[in-house]
Amino acid sequence: MKDVVLLTGAGQIGMAIVRRVAHGKKIIVGDKRLENAETVAKILSEAGFDALPVDCDISSRESILHLIAEAQRHGEISCLVNAAGVSPSQAPVEAILKVDLYGTAVLLEEVGKVIRRGGAGVTISSQSGHRMEQLGARTDALLATTPTEELLSLEVLRPQNIRDTLHAYQMAKRCNEKRVMAESVRWGERGARLNSISPGIIVTPLAIDEFNGPRGDFYKNMFAKCPAGRPGTADEVANVAELLLGDKGAFITGADFLIDGGATASYFYGPLKPEEKGE
């Protein structure tokens, strides 16, 4: 039996992270598309890791429980890397809220029940959650602590209050941030830690498609006008995840780390700031 690293979302960021932290451990790779999980598991296995692909839809509690049960067949879960999600251009409002918001909340809750003492988790959120106006302490508390099966019934998440897919995505990522804070308290009761990372534009196959798509100019302008002057790489996200998941991050829990090359700073205080509209 080995310590088990649970990876949800078979993409470049998740794979870059587990390559840093999963040597000598069993990696369970979960993805809604089994072929994606198989591809990542094959790459990891050919690099000397012990990886197993599993079909998992994180919008389903039943599917998450199946993934956890499969992981526990191989040992205790010591690490969660949640990189699953859909973007505003990939899915409608309902799917974004079901996967990125509800699914993440369920995953953090269920893994938190079984994570071993000394374990750690990181969930990949987004810079988008930092761009929204403040929602207020009461709404933040509701996003953080409402029972998972009641989350999508919150007034602020009702369809009539969601403007478009980008707004849904921003709400999901703001909820991720608050949910991590609340769940980190529960994880702490088991001697485990939980944090989130909010990347900006990271070069992945999906991002390249976006650069060449109808919103390409928007994304190119964003990274051109951020202080870093470029998009990031999956390995740069993994640099921070390695700290958060390892012994050197032992005093870090319940936190969110913005890794966006300064794009959010530029959005509020630099050339990316939206033009003021008269009231």
Residues designated as active site: 169, 173
Instruction: Give the strand pairing for 232-233 and 256-259.
Output: unpaired
The residue behind tokens 């050919």 is 46
268 contacts: CB under 8 Å, gap ≥ 6: none
User: How far apart are alpha carbons 66 and 126 in whole angstroms?
Assistant: 27
The region that residue 75 occupies, defined by phi over 0 for left and psi between -120 and 50 for alpha, beta otherwise, is left
Tell me how many degrees the CA angle 53-181-25 measures, rounded to the nearest 5: 30
Q: Residue 191: which of 115, 82, 111, 246 has the closest Cα?
A: 115
90 contacts: CB under 8 Å, gap ≥ 6: none
User: How far apart are alpha carbons 92 and 231 in whole angstroms?
Assistant: 26
Q: Residue 255: which of 170, 190, 198 has the closest Cα?
A: 198
